[in-house]
Amino acid sequence: MDVFLELALILIVAKIFGYLSVRLGFPAALGQLIGGIIIGPSLLNLVSYDEGVRLLADLGVVMLLFLAGLETDVDEFKHVGVPAFVIAVLGVLIPFVLGYLGAMAWGFSSVEAMFLGGVLTATSVGLTTSILMEMKKLRTRVGTTILAAAVVDDVLGIIVLTILVGINTRGSVYMEDLLIILGEVVVYFAIGLFLGNPAVKEALKLSERITLPETITAVAIAIMLVFAYLAEQFQIAGITGAYLAGILVAGTEEAGEIDRKFMTLGYSLFIPVFLVSIGIESDVRVLASAGTFALVYSLLAIIGKVTGCGFGALVSRFRPIEALQVGVGMIPRMEVALIMANVALNEGVFDNGTFAIPVTMVLVTTIVTPFLLKWAFSRE
């Protein structure tokens, strides 16, 4: 199908299925995810999902996290810093241990088990962010904590992957590798916060002097993309950079106008393409060929984040229902988990059969999260 027709179909499916999902009492993101599964290779195979569509989807998730940054309460973000770190650490440690022990008990080698445990450490908050924004829960203590913990989780995931690759290739881990990663992270956030803050304000002020349509919006998009690019150069996820850019823009005089324009631009094209593309990429046929351990592994992925992050939230004096909400919000695994699994495949640790296990887990956690988030927040 021609890319223009593919995009037209994706947008129509996004709005119709999102509307039906809301009418049934579920988040629109769930309907968009299901719509993507229907038109994707799982069922009708109407969308080939070429590079053009993928680019719009990538821009969609970057824009979604930028919007999340714009809507983040900065004072609340500072307040949840320590709890978010505790939640992220336990949310990495417990899933890793569960994945490792589960794989060892199932007969996998120690190296395979370590990588299977490592894949479970990653969190992808694109889907959760969309649902929280839709439910008007993003600016709450829980919503801010999930996003802050996801930032820490991203860094910890890189460290875990570095350790695993080092063990597999060299039999040991060099401390300088870890110090380099931590140094890059510190440098990125230092530059972003101390140099980026005045630079962003000045860039937006200068943009007001250019009397062309939507110059401020265009400059804001450029800021978002630059921060995403720099994040990736420092081995951090691009969406984390976009989120930081959103927080910085939120502190400017132009924030209100930019927020309105990004809501219009994002939800009319880019964000629906991203949400439907999750379903398109989720080939549910994998479930039919997945072994029993793939389903057990998926269950461990859910339990690991809910218990790890939930316990971290309880320790940080969140109410039990809030701890549950934080844990559920951290369940989804997508990009980072698949990248880690792909590294294991390229390193020769996984064969194609083993690689299908993380793929199944990503699919399951993606599908169950909207249901579980709706349930967790309905218990308040």
For 90-145, how does the pLDDT look when each residue is reduced to its tens digit (9 = 90+)?
999 999 999 999 999 999 999 999 999 999 998 888 888 888 988 889 888 999 99
Inter-residue contact 65 to 239 (CB < 8 Å): yes
Backbone angles phi, psi at 200, to 5 degrees: -65, -45
* pLDDT tens digits along 33-50: 889 989 988 889 998 778
Q: How far apart are CA 334 and CA 313, in angstroms?
A: 23
Q: Among the ranges 76-80, 120-124, 245-249, 353-357, which has the highest mean pLDDT value?
A: 245-249
Per DSSP, the chain holds a count of helices (H) and strands (E) of: 19, 0
HSE at residue 33, side-chain half, CA atoms within 13 A, is 24
Inter-residue contact 178 to 161 (CB < 8 Å): no
Closest CA to 195 of 255, 254, 253, 245: 245
- Burial of 61 per CB tally in 10 Å (0-12, 13-18, 19+): buried
Q: Domain 63-271+293-378: give its CATH architecture.
A: Up-down Bundle (1.20)
Q: How far apart are CA 25 and CA 155, in angstroms?
A: 35
Inter-residue contact 42 to 282 (CB < 8 Å): yes
HSE at residue 9, side-chain half, CA atoms within 13 A, is 20
> pTM of the entire structure?
0.80
Q: How far apart are CA 142 and CA 322, in angstroms?
A: 6
Residue 172 pLDDT more than 70?
Answer: no
Q: Is the dihedral of CA 124, 126, 132, 135 positive or negative?
A: negative
List, in order, residues 6 or more apart from 271 with CB less than 8 Å away.
Answer: 60, 63, 64, 130
Tokens of 133: 């924004």
* pLDDT tens digits along 294-321: 999 999 999 999 999 999 999 999 999 9
Task: Return the DSSP state at 212.
Answer: S
**How would residue 173 be classed by pLDDT, with cut points 50, 70 and 90?**
low
**In angstroms, what CA-CA distances link 292 with 66, 113, 302?**
39, 16, 16
Q: What is the pLDDT of residue 76?
A: 78
Mean pLDDT taken over the chain: 89
Q: How far apart are CA 147 and CA 246, in angstroms?
A: 12
Q: How far apart are CA 33 and CA 19, in angstroms?
A: 12
Place of tokens 């860039």: 203
**How would residue 8 be classed by pLDDT, with cut points 50, 70 and 90?**
very high
Q: How far apart are CA 143 and CA 126, in angstroms?
A: 12
Q: How many beta carbons lie within 10 A of that of residue 222, not counting itself?
A: 13
Inter-residue contact 246 to 69 (CB < 8 Å): yes
